[in-house]
């Protein structure tokens, strides 16, 4: 699939109607989502024919992109049931088979490296300090191949568009500088007997 086609499909997805500020819910825009997944697939072969988890999936944008790029299995996790409903509808609208799990990332309960790749746009930690690192810690435990994660920064050129969603937002839209990180987890050691 071409990058522009992927971005167009992601641009048609439903997004939050009533985002929850305490969960730092912001939609992952089609521009940044398409580039994240396109890079993961075309530069590193981390998506097609792989088991991909989308942590804090929200409306499912990253997971949908992974499925569109040929992931063998996509699992989206989120603490918010309303977000999972939207994500499920987005997958259904595109006739994609994505599994969704409602859970708090700190209580996920997965053991070992059971997915190949984790993609995520975790909360930046502006409401709950360190929550982004909690997501990253769990992702590195369960991914065998790679973890892709967006993190807030003030020194880079990659921009994340944040629309005016909450009453305390003064501007119609703001660009937040973010870094896209690719982490390669330490592989589990197998003992020879």
> The domain spanning residue 47 has which CATH number?
3.40.50.150
Asked if 100 and 88 touch (Cβ cutoff 8 Å), the reply is yes
In the predicted model, what is the mean pLDDT of residues 163-179?
60
With a cut of 90, say whether residue 178 has pLDDT above it: no
Token pair for residue 147? 């973890």
187 vs 68, which has greater pLDDT?
A: 68
Structure token digits, residue 124: 């930046």
What pLDDT band is residue 3 in, cutting at 50, 70 and 90?
A: very high
Contact 133, 147 (CB under 8 A): no
Distance CA 97, CA 110 (A): 21
Q: How many domains does the chain have?
A: 1
- The answer as to whether 175 is a domain residue is yes
Residues of the domain holding 34: 3-183
- pLDDT tens for 88-119 read 999 999 999 999 999 999 999 998 999 999 99
Residues 148 and 47: beta-carbon distance below 8 Å: no
Rg (CA), the chain: 16
Where is average pLDDT lowest: 11-15, 35-39, 124-128, 177-181?
177-181
For residue 73, the SS3 value is strand
pLDDT at 159 over 60: no
Residue 117 tokens read as 């790749």
> What is the pairing mode between strands 159-163 and 51-55?
unpaired
Instruction: Decide if 192 is inside a domain.
Output: no
Pick the more confident residue, 50 or 168: 50
Question: Is residue 188, in this structure, part of any structural domain at all?
Answer: no
Does residue 139 sit within a domain? yes
Which residues are within 8 A (CB) of 189 and not within 5 positions of it... i.e. 6 or more apart? none
> For the packed helices 61-68 and 3-11, what is the interaxial angle rounded to 10 degrees?
140
Gap between the Cα atoms of 132 and 49, Å rounded: 27
Percentage of the chain modeled with pLDDT above 70: 83
Residue at 68 is within a domain: yes
Is the distance from CB of 78 to CB of 121 less than 8 angstroms? Answer: no
Q: Would you tell me the crossing angle of helices 61-68 and 81-93 to the nearest 10 degrees?
A: 30
Q: Mean of the pLDDT values across residues 5-13?
A: 98
Residue 157 domain-assigned (yes or no): yes
Which pair of structure tokens corresponds to residue 98?
A: 């994505």
pTM of the entire predicted model: 0.84
Whether residue 169 lies inside any domain: the answer is yes
The mean of the pLDDT values for the chain is 87
Question: Which residue is associated with the tokens 């992927």?
Answer: 6
**Residue 29 resides in a domain:** yes
Segment 45-70, tens digit of pLDDT? 999 999 999 999 999 999 999 999 99
From CA 103, how far away is CA 85, in angstroms rounded?
14
């Amino acid at each position: 699939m071409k990058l522009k086609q992927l971005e167009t499909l992601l641009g048609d997805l439903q997004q939050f109607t009533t985002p929850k500020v305490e969960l730092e819910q912001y939609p992952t825009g089609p521009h940044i989502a398409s580039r994240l997944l396109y890079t993961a697939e075309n530069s590193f072969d981390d998506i097609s024919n792989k088991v991909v988890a989308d942590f804090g999936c929200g409306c499912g944008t990253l997971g949908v992109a992974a499925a569109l790029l040929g992931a063998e299995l996509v699992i989206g996790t989120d603490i918010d049931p309303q977000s999972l409903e939207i994500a499920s509808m987005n997958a259904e609208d595109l006739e994609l088979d994505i599994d969704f799990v409602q859970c708090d990332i700190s209580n996920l309960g997965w053991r070992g490296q059971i997915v190949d790749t984790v993609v995520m746009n975790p909360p930046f930690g502006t409401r709950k300090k360190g929550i982004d690192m909690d997501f990253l810690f769990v992702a590195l435990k369960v991914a065998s191949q790679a973890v892709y994660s967006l993190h807030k920064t003030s020194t880079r050129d990659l921009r994340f568009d944040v629309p005016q969603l909450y009453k305390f937002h003064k501007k119609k839209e703001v660009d937040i500088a973010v870094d896209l990180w690719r982490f390669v987890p330490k592989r589990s050691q197998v003992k020879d007997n």
